[in-house]
Chain A
Amino acid sequence: MIELARELRRSYALVERNFNLIRRYIGWEIVFLVYTVVNTLTIAFIGVNPATGGGGDRVLYLVVGALLWGFLSVLFHEVAESVQWERWEGTIEYSFMAPMKRLSYLGGVCLYAATYGAVRTVVVMLAVVALFKLDLGSANLGAALVVLLLSSLSFIGVGLMAAVLPLLSPEKGSQAAHILEAAILLVSGVYYEVSVLPGWLQPLSRLSPATYTLRAARAALLENASLRDIGGDLVLLLAIGVVLIPLGLKVFNWGELHAMRTGKLKRSG
C-alpha cells in the first residue's frame, strides 16, 4: 500500500510537470485551443449548410465526431509523444534513470493526457453548444461518458504502442506515430459512416477502437441509446483496452531495453 502511494506520487510528477509546461507555453496553448474551437465550429457549419443537405441531427453528428476525435487525438498524441518530447528536451535519460516503475511513468503521462484532453474538449463543447444552441435534452449523456471512459483505455493502449516508436527509431518513430493517427482518422468514421469507405478500407475500420467509440457515442447522444443498447460496442472497447494496455506496456518495456542495448536513449541517438 505504501509502495502504491509512492508510485502514485511519482506519477503525479509527470502531471505537475506537464501542467507547468502548459503555463510556460500559454501563448501557444491559447492559439491551439482557439484553432480547435474554430475548426470544430467550421465542421459544425458544414452540417448546417443547406447545399450539403444540412440540418436536423447532422450538426450534432459532425460535432460529436469532432469532439470525440479532438479528445482521442489529444490522448493519443500526449501518450505517443511523451518519449519524443523528453528526447527533444534532452531529459529522457534523467527521467528513465529515476527509481520509478515504468507503469507509474506512463500512468502519469496518461493521467495528464486524459485530464488535459477532457478540459480542452469541454471548452470546445461549450463553444459549440453556445453557438449552435444544440439540444441535448434527449441525449443519454451518462452512456456517452461511459463510452468516453472505455475508449480512453483503448486509446491509451494504442498510444503506449506508438510511444515506443521513438525508442526504436529516434528520427522516424514520431513520424510513424503521426501516420498511425492519420490512418485511424481515415478509417474510423469520424465525420462519415464507415460504409462510405471503399470496400478494401472497411475491414481496417473494424480494427480501430475509434470506430466503436463514435458509433456508440452517436447512438447515446443522437438516439438516446441506453447502455444495454450499446453494450456490444462497450464490451469491444473494454476488450481492446484490456488487451492493448498490457501489450502496450510490454512493447514499451521491450523498446526501452532495445534503446538501452543500442544507446538510443541518448538525445543524439
Chain B
Amino acid sequence: MEDTALECIGARKVFRVKKETRPETHLSTEWSVASAAGDPGGQDAAQPGTHGGKQGPGVNGHGAAIGATNGRHRGRLALSRAMATLFPRSVPVEAVSGVTFSVKRGEIFGILGPNGSGKSTLIRLISTLLLPDDGEIRVFGHDVVRERFAVRRLINRVSVEAAFFKKLSAMENLSYAARLYDVDIRQARRTAIEILKRLGFGENKAYEPLEDLSRGMQQKVAVARALLTSPVLLLLDEPTTGLDPVSKREVQDYVLEVRDSHDTTVILTTHDMQEADRLCDRVAIIDQGRFVALDTPMHLKAGLGRNGDGEAATLEDVFFALTGKALKESHPEEGD
C-alpha cells in the first residue's frame, strides 16, 4: 500500500444556497409612504391588493391616489413574494476553496476551523459523498470520483451527528453496518462488543434502542461502527462533540490505540484544541474554505511564541491569531 494515504490537490466545492429576497424591505418602504400620506389603511399594507388609501380621507386629496398606486405596488410585491417563495433565488457559496494537502500513512491529521469553515464539506468530499467542482482527491492512489467504490472499501467515517436508526439497538445498527461492509456477522458482533467495552460502553446497553441512550453513548456506537470495518483511512468529523470529559478521553485513547495497532490513518476535525494538540501529528487550520496554516502543533505554537498575556502560546491562541474569530463562530451561508 502507498505511503501517502491522502492527496488533495486544489479541491474546490461550491454550493448554491437560497438567498433571502428583498420584497419585505420594499414593503416597509411602501408602508412608510402610505403612512406619511396620512393613509389610515396603512396597517393593511401587508395585505396584497388592499387599496388602503381609499379607506381614508388622505391629505390634500392626494391620499387616495397614493393609496391606489401603493395598492398596485403591493399587488406586484405580493406576486414577487409568491414567485420568490416558489422559485427562490440562489447564490454560489464556495465551501472549500482550492485546498491542497497530503496525509502520510499512519498519520493523525487534524483540521481545525469554526463552524461553517468547510471542515465537514472537506470530509464529505473525501468520503465520496460529494463531488468536487474542481481539483483532485486521492485515497491511497484511488480517485474519489472515478474510483468511488475502491475508496469506499478503504474508508469509514464518524460524523458529528450520530446517524443511526434510533429505534434499533446498538447491536442491530452495528450488524447492519457489518453486513453492508461484508464483515463476517459473528465476528463483527464479537468485535463490536470488544470495541464498545473498550470505549466504556456496557454490554447490556448494546441491546437497548439507541433513542434511549445519551448522545455521548450514541457517539461511542458511531465510533465502534466505523472501526468495525477496519478502515485504513478513518475520517472523524468532530467525534467527541457532546461527550463528557471521561468519555472524550476514552475515545481519544482508543483513536491513538487504533492508529498504532491497526495501521490506520486518521483525519480528525475538531473544535477541541487540546484534543488536536494531544492527538494530531499535524494540524491544518481552515477558515472560509481555505487552509490558513498547516504544520505540527508544536511548530504552530512556536511560530506564535507568546500570547497576549505573555504566556507560551497554545493552539487556541494560534487559532485566534490566524482566523480572528471564536471557535464556534458561525458562517451563515454554509450548513457545515
Taking beta carbons and an 8 Å cutoff, which residues of A are in contact with B? 6, 9-10, 12-13, 16-17, 20-21, 24-25, 89-91, 93-101, 257, 260-263, 265-268
Considering the chains assembled together, what is the distance between the CA atoms of A13 and B335 in angstroms? 31
* A262-B16, A265-B129 given; A17·B181 CB < 8 A: no
Instruction: Identify the closest chain B residue to A268 (Cβ).
Output: B335
Q: Which residues of B contact A97 (CB under 8 A)?
A: 127-129, 152, 155-157
Tell me whether B165 and A6 are in contact (CB under 8 A): no
* A16-B175, A24-B168, A257-B131 given; A98·B163 CB < 8 A: no
* A93-B129, A93-B159, A262-B16 given; A98·B181 CB < 8 A: yes
Q: Is B26 an interface residue (CB 8 A)?
A: no
Q: Which residues of A contact B335 (CB under 8 A)?
A: 266, 268
Highest count of chain B CB atoms <10 Å: which of A17, A257, A267? A17
Tell me whether A21 and B149 are in contact (CB under 8 A): no
Q: Is B246 an interface residue (CB 8 A)?
A: no
Tell me whether A10 and B182 are in contact (CB under 8 A): yes
Output the least CB separation between A3 and chain B (Å): 10
Tell me whether A94 and B130 are in contact (CB under 8 A): no
Tell me whether B164 and A13 are in contact (CB under 8 A): no
CB<8 Å pairs between A and B, sample of 28? A10-B179, A13-B180, A17-B165, A20-B168, A24-B168, A25-B167, A89-B163, A89-B164, A89-B166, A90-B163, A91-B163, A91-B164, A91-B165, A93-B124, A93-B159, A94-B157, A94-B163, A96-B129, A97-B128, A99-B153, A99-B181, A100-B152, A260-B129, A261-B130, A262-B15, A265-B130, A267-B161, A267-B163
Q: Which residues of A contact B149 (CB under 8 A)?
A: 99, 101
Out of B157, B159, B175, B180, which one reaches A100, CB within 8 Å?
B180
Q: Which residues of B contact A6 (CB under 8 A)?
A: 182
Considering the chains assembled together, what is the distance between the CA atoms of A266 and B156 in angstroms? 16
Tell me whether B209 and A24 are in contact (CB under 8 A): yes
Q: Is B177 an interface residue (CB 8 A)?
A: yes
* Residue interface bits B86-128, CB-to-A below 8 A is 1, else 0: 0000000000000000000000000000000000010010011
Instruction: Identify the closest chain A residue to B178 (Cβ).
Output: A13
What 9 pairs across the A-B complex have the smallest Cβ distances?
A13-B179, A98-B180, A99-B152, A24-B167, A90-B163, A99-B153, A17-B176, A260-B131, A261-B131
* A16-B176, A100-B180 given; A21·B165 CB < 8 A: yes
Output the least CB separation between B94 and chain A (Å): 13
Q: Which residues of A contact B175 (CB under 8 A)?
A: 16
Q: Which residues of B contact A261 (CB under 8 A)?
A: 130-131
Q: Which residues of B contact A267 (CB under 8 A)?
A: 161, 163
Highest count of chain A CB atoms <10 Å: which of B129, B152, B159? B129
Tell me whether A93 and B163 are in contact (CB under 8 A): yes
Q: Is B263 an interface residue (CB 8 A)?
A: no
By the criterion of a CB under 8 Å from any partner CB, how many residues of chain B are at the interface?
A: 34
Instruction: Identify the closest chain B residue to A13 (Cβ).
Output: B179
Q: Is B295 an interface residue (CB 8 A)?
A: no
* A97-B157, A99-B153, A262-B16 given; A9·B163 CB < 8 A: no
Tell me whether B168 and A9 are in contact (CB under 8 A): no
Considering the chains assembled together, what is the distance between the CA atoms of A9 and B188 in angstroms? 14
Q: Which residues of A contact B177 (CB under 8 A)?
A: 94, 98
Q: Is B172 an interface residue (CB 8 A)?
A: yes
Q: Which residues of A contact B165 (CB under 8 A)?
A: 17, 20-21, 89, 91
Instruction: Identify the closest chain B residue to A263 (Cβ).
Output: B15
Q: Which residues of A contact B129 (CB under 8 A)?
A: 93, 96-97, 260, 265-266
Considering the chains assembled together, what is the distance between the CA atoms of A46 and B127 in angstroms? 56
Tell me whether B16 and A16 are in contact (CB under 8 A): no
Q: Which residues of A contact B161 (CB under 8 A)?
A: 90, 267
Tell me whether B168 and A17 are in contact (CB under 8 A): yes
* A24-B209, A93-B163, A98-B152 given; A17·B130 CB < 8 A: no
Within 120-147 of B, Cβ neighbours of A (below 8 Å) are at 121, 124, 127-131
Considering the chains assembled together, what is the distance between the CA atoms of A24 and B168 in angstroms? 7
Tell me whether A20 and B16 are in contact (CB under 8 A): no
Besides A260-B130, A268-B335, 10 new A-B residue pairs in contact (Cβ under 8 A), listed by A number: A16-B175, A17-B165, A20-B168, A24-B168, A97-B127, A100-B180, A257-B131, A260-B129, A265-B129, A266-B129
* Residue interface bits B205-240, CB-to-A below 8 A is 1, else 0: 000010000000000000001000000000000000
Output the least CB separation between A149 and chain B (Å): 26
Tell me whether B180 and A95 are in contact (CB under 8 A): yes
Output the least CB separation between A61 and chain B (Å): 40
Instruction: Identify the closest chain A residue to B125 (Cβ).
Output: A260
Output the least CB separation between A91 and chain B (Å): 5
Considering the chains assembled together, what is the distance between the CA atoms of A20 and B170 in angstroms? 12
Tell me whether A16 and B182 are in contact (CB under 8 A): no
Q: Which residues of A contact B152 (CB under 8 A)?
A: 97-100
Output the least CB separation between B247 and chain A (Å): 21
Instruction: Identify the closest chain B residue to A89 (Cβ).
Output: B165
Instruction: Identify the closest chain B residue to A24 (Cβ).
Output: B167
